Structure 1
Amino acid sequence: MDPGARPRGRRGVTAAVSRSGTRVERLPLSRFTTLGVGGEAEVWFVTSHDALAEAMERPYRILGGGSNLVIADAGVPERVLRLSGPLAERDLTPDPLLSTPARVVTGWVGGGVPLPGLVRQLQKLGLSGLEGTVGIPAQVGGAVWMNAGTRYGEMFDGLHTIELVTPEGTRQVTPDDLPWGYRQSGIPRNHVVSRVRLALTVSTPDAVLAKMDFADQARRGQPKMKTPGCAFKNPGGVSAGQLIDEAGLKGTRIGNALIAPEHANFIVNLGGATAADVHALLDTVRARVKVPLELEYELWPGQAEP
């Protein structure tokens, strides 16, 4: 970081300003995650492509909505990037050159846009394609990177163009250019989803709302406490939650982390849980369930971007 002036940050924390004008603060990452755990790191609030390129000059991690993520109690040594400002804005105006009466291709939607608010706005406009992602507490960039979704739909159902910032510069790709699939996009780890264009079917607000309500029914039995979401991917079409439940682990508690009684594939923070508590529960599940389970969570530290 090349700090310039040092204005006061939130709650008295001293903020630095990088050479591109990016605000940089050392903050607890727990405040940015749906689980509510994680130690401190240097957080960059990136508002432009130039600022993003500067932030990527040294090892970094990109942090979106903070779901699907367990951050170590010691934090991480790398820069943590948060897309904000213009990179968290949306333009849903139909592109006249790409849209048809039945299909709308939007303007650019920033990677830092919260997905829940975007889905609600699309519903009001009567645009269909992303209602299957209803309720996912993510930002657009992270949701695209992992192809977030439910059994009723996923991010790649509504994408036209993906803008990526890479170590070599900025480029645009389409879904056809990527080997995407279940909970993965095929986007390399050292690429950041800065913006996307959406491709959506013209419908009506009522019809889109009905699809959202149908998809949301499957979430009614999920825990309402702090959680990253589903811990494990479903192996071979079998429910991971059912396997964990059959192993007698529903309701198991270590420290202040709990395998949710409502749904065994969720780990919740009862208040004051640590990442170590969560890791201990994950290890317990792996030891007791005989079928190999692949994590859906991303664990920090792990692999950072160069």
Structure 2
Amino acid sequence: MTLTQPSRTGARVERLPLARFTTLGVGGEAEVWFVSDHDQLAEAMEAPYRILGGGSNLVIADEGVPERVIRLTGPFAETDLTPDPGLSDGETVVTGWVGGGVPLPGLIRRLQKLGLSNLEGTVGIPAQVGGAVWMNAGTRYGETFDGLHTLEIVTPGSRRQVTPDDLDWGYRASGIPRNHIVARVRLKLRRSTPEEVQARMEFADSARKGQPKMKTPGCAFKNPGGVSAGRLIDEAGLKGTRVGNAMIAPEHANFIVNLGGANSADVHALLGIIRERVGVPLELEYELWPEEG
């Protein structure tokens, strides 16, 4: 760990290996800015930057990235689930602000205890709220945009609030440009009971039982045209294929796992093998740092 010059707004800035912030456990060093208010966020965005949330769905190069890497902390990682009396009614709860740095799994557990529904389809996704919104993370049983009312989006020159109707969102996409940061959101939820929400969570989670338990970014490719990418990779005979210490998971062919000590080059090699062997074009679900091409 290397300490760098303190920022003028009080943000903590350190040069750190990014592997520690990712679910794959791969990635070189970068200058990491831990920001806890809008002034610190504005300063962090004065130079080229990237935003790093829960670190799932992400493969970072072994040499790291030259840009600043922003992490949302403090109030940006806090949750206010108090119903807004002006927007909530007998069936619907619109909450206070939920920070983009809030871990999604913990939020889902809190909503279950309160008997609030709409986001249980995202159970088990190891993301932070901002990242889950940015890619509209989800499963076959629901996605992040199912539970959104308002989004606060920050760019280097602006801060604005939008609704889902303002965005061209869809399957694994929010319509939010890459350099925009989801600082916080307000949720739109349906009143239910803790028992009913728990039952739906268990049903959604049951579909994940066959997924690998080792370090992984999640699903590698989007399903093309409604066909399972995992099935296509499996039919190509690629389950268990290994390059270095990365492997196409035997449990589910659309997952690449880190067996211990894998690097980014190993993962990229496996992605290339899959694309070469599968007979249809596949679009990455992973985000790559730096990007392809």
TM-score norm. by structure 1 comes to: 0.94
C-alpha displacement of 1:190: 1.8
- Cα contact 2:81–2:95 (8 A) shared by 1: yes
For 1:112, the aligned partner's letter is G
Query: Whole-Å Cα distance in 2 between the matches of residues 30 and 182 of structure 1?
Result: 27
Q: Which residue of 2 aligns with 1:204?
A: 193
- Cα contact 2:50–2:179 (8 A) shared by 1: no
For 1:52, the aligned partner's letter is L
Give deviations 1:205-258, integer Å, cap 9, x for gaps. 000000000000000000000000000000001110110011110000000000
Partner secondary structure for residue 64 of structure 1? coil
Query: Whole-Å Cα distance in 1 between the matches of residues 156 and 274 of structure 2?
Result: 38
C-alpha displacement of 1:101: 1.3
For 1:116, the aligned partner's letter is P
Match of 1:272 among 261, 269, 275: 261
Q: Which residue of 1 aligns with 2:157?
A: 168
For 1:92, the aligned partner's letter is L
For 1:220, the aligned partner's letter is K
Q: Which residue of 2 aligns with 1:112?
A: 101
C-alpha displacement of 1:168: 2.3
Partner secondary structure for residue 225 of structure 1? coil
Query: Whole-Å Cα distance in 1 between the matches of residues 269 and 33 of structure 2?
Result: 31
- Cα contact 2:33–2:70 (8 A) shared by 1: yes
Query: Whole-Å Cα distance in 2 between the matches of residues 56 and 302 of structure 1?
Result: 19
For 2:37, the aligned partner's letter is S
The runs of 5 or more residues in structure 1 that have no matched partner are 1-11
Instruction: Trace 1:238-253 onto structure 2 (pairs within 5 A).
Output: 238-253=227-242
Query: Whole-Å Cα distance in 1 between the matches of residues 156 and 18 of structure 2?
Result: 25
C-alpha displacement of 1:16: 3.4
For 1:137, the aligned partner's letter is P
Q: Which residue of 1 aligns with 2:247?
A: 258
Task: Indicate yes or no: 2:58 matched with 1:69.
Answer: yes
How many correspondences in the alignment? Answer: 292
Partner secondary structure for residue 3 of structure 2? coil
Task: Indicate yes or no: 2:187 matched with 1:187.
Answer: no
Partner secondary structure for residue 268 of structure 2? helix
Q: Which residue of 2 aligns with 1:4?
A: none
Instruction: Trace 1:1-306 onto structure 2 (pairs within 5 A).
Output: 13-302=2-291
CA RMSD, 1 decimal: 0.9
Query: After the TM superposition, which parts of structure 1 deviate over 6 Å for at least 4 consecutive aligned residues?
Result: none
The runs of 5 or more residues in structure 2 that have no matched partner are none
TM-score norm. by structure 2 comes to: 0.98
Query: Whole-Å Cα distance in 1 between the matches of residues 223 and 33 of structure 2?
Result: 35
- Cα contact 2:151–2:186 (8 A) shared by 1: yes
